Amino acid sequence: MGNWPCAEEAAKGSPNAQMVHESFFPMYLVKVSDFLKMEGAPEPHDVLKQRGLLHEWRAGMFAVFVSHQWLGRQHPDPKGEQVAVLRETLKILIDGSLAIEGDLVSMSYGEGKRLTPETRKQVETGYLFFDWFAIPQITARVEGVNEELTKTDAARAVNSIPSYVEAASLFVALVPFVLHTDTKQWCSYTTWLARGWCRAELWLHMLSSKPDTSVILITSVPEAKFMFPLDWLMNTIASGDFTVEDDRAVVVQLGQRAIESKIRELKESGPLHAYRFYLAHQSRMLGLKSSEWDVQDFLEAFQFASLEEAATDRSSMNALMCAVFSGDSGMIRQLVRFRADVNSRAHGLAKAGYFDGQPLIVCASKSHQPPHVLATLVELRADVHARSSNGSTVAPMVRSPEQLQVIIEARGDLHCHFDPMGHTPLGGACGMANSDTISAFLKARCDPNPPLYGLGQGPLHHAILFSRGNRSALQIVRLLLEHGADPNAVTNPTGLFNWVCQAALAYEMIRGRQSSTFLIRAYASLPRLSPLGLAAMVGDPDMMQLLLDFGAEAPLPNTRGDFPEDLARENGHLHLLPLLNTFHV
């Protein structure tokens, strides 16, 4: 299903999918084996065509679609930095030494994924779609330049990108930290996720009818993982960044067609819970304000026989969940009148990012519902202190100052610790919320330096650890530091988590660091890890500079004896070494 990636069910060859988008130009591919022999900056379409390295896609081919952000206005990768990361990553993916892991949040809820040996073999013998290789005479979009080229091969190929995404069997986001040659700004997963066209490629993939819509993020040579499901769902096409503003309307129209096609397909063929999920999210996905349903229209649209049946339904996408995801307070009230349970919990939606056992009010906050939805649930006696399986309440899950105000007025506890993880509401929110929300927490006198136990991470560690994909991360870290967060506070895992860290260290000693997964390396590095050391593991140079500006000490090793420079090198972030080499240990 489109919104629930299922890496265990890798597609064989080309995806068995209903094509929605038309192709106006052949999909040109390069053999993975040929790509692995290349060196330096990627050569353009015409050169590769002359050398006989391009192949037209046909049914049965296993194609890997590589989505990436351009690093220059006239060339996508002038120094060959992105493709070098891709080449080395593909090599260790193919030989099995690179483990593709799930995201940290999903793994903490026991939702693991894996890349099968069969898929690795298909990649080895498969083909690569990379825009610079595939599209003739492509240039970066510049206002007033491309508008008159609608009949050229380049324009036809660009217009065919939606069909290329559909035809591909595997989707890879190539998102290492690399400096843009013209703007001198760092490009990364966060900036890729902000780009309108990159979002369009991502959404077209996720909304396709392919059996596997997993997304692999390549952030450095030793680190590749599956995307967190909510990362795509909460970054709409309409709100993306476009170099040419006129592109927004074009891309939004593509997204609308894909969403409507997805809903129509699921309505006809099922499964029903997936159909209801997309229908409930449709307005938000299109960037539209939600509106209240007429009762009969709601029942017919979501396929419930009556209001009584809807209120007592216990399926994963029951009527109350449909109303919450639709942002419909009126329908929530109607259902509760017929004894729908506002303290029900999510189940069966984990692959969409809503984990088993999370209270309904948590699902409302995580899905960025307007505050009136949370207020309605509270008024109808939803428990703001109800705990998820990881011990947290709704407080760390709020996504706006207005949502937080609802929880404050309901007397939610903003100053507790959540067992067994040990984090606080402020700490939990620092990973996913925006800077305005964190500012509201701090105004409510939440402590940026709470006692550390459990995982032993404070708000500053949380903000850095989950900074990838969060456009507010740098501002959140600045806010915490300005409010007195200790830039040299070290982690303090205790109890079970201390044991896990020791086990990870032992595993590394036996298997070696390079043979260990990122999660194993992270646990082994965790005891007495400084914010600067964590920033080195994540790879963010701007984050590292900010910490240094606020007094972070570079020569501060963790328990294993790793300095930030060691952690940067171990995790493939060699771009940080010039900054860290200014310190002498």
Q: Which residues of the chain, if any, have pLDDT below 70?
A: 1-18, 138-151, 583-585
pLDDT for 511: 87
Of 362, 386, 410, the residue that ends a domain is 386
Of 386, 407, 427, the residue that ends a domain is 386
pLDDT for 359: 98
Does 435 fall in a domain?
A: no
pLDDT in tens, 230-265: 899 889 888 999 988 888 888 888 889 899 999 999
pLDDT for 138: 64
Co-location of 336 and 468 in the same domain: no
pLDDT for 13: 53
For residue 85, give the nearest of 202, 210, 178 by alpha carbon. 178
- The first and second tokens of residue 339, run together, are 């004894």
Cα separation, 218 vs 225, in Å, equals: 7
Does 433 fall in a domain?
A: no
Domain count, the chain: 3
Residue-range definition of the domain harbouring residue 549: 451-585
Does 428 fall in a domain?
A: no
Does 122 fall in a domain?
A: yes
CB 372 within 8 A of CB 384: no
Taking the whole predicted model, whether its pTM rises above 0.75 is answered as: yes
Q: What is the CATH number of the domain that holds 572?
A: 1.25.40.20
Does 423 fall in a domain?
A: no
Cα torsion through 174, 180, 183, 186, rounded to 10: 70
Cα separation, 109 vs 390, in Å, equals: 8
Cα separation, 480 vs 433, in Å, equals: 13
Co-location of 360 and 491 in the same domain: no
pLDDT for 15: 59
Does 469 fall in a domain?
A: yes
pLDDT for 139: 60
pLDDT for 151: 52
pLDDT in tens, 348-362: 999 899 999 999 999
Of 262, 296, 321, the residue that ends a domain is 262
Does 403 fall in a domain?
A: no
Listed in sequence order, the DSSP H helices in 354-465 are: 360-366, 371-379, 401-409, 425-430, 435-443, 459-465
Co-location of 357 and 300 in the same domain: yes
Cα separation, 235 vs 229, in Å, equals: 11
Q: What is the CATH number of the domain that holds 362?
A: 1.25.40
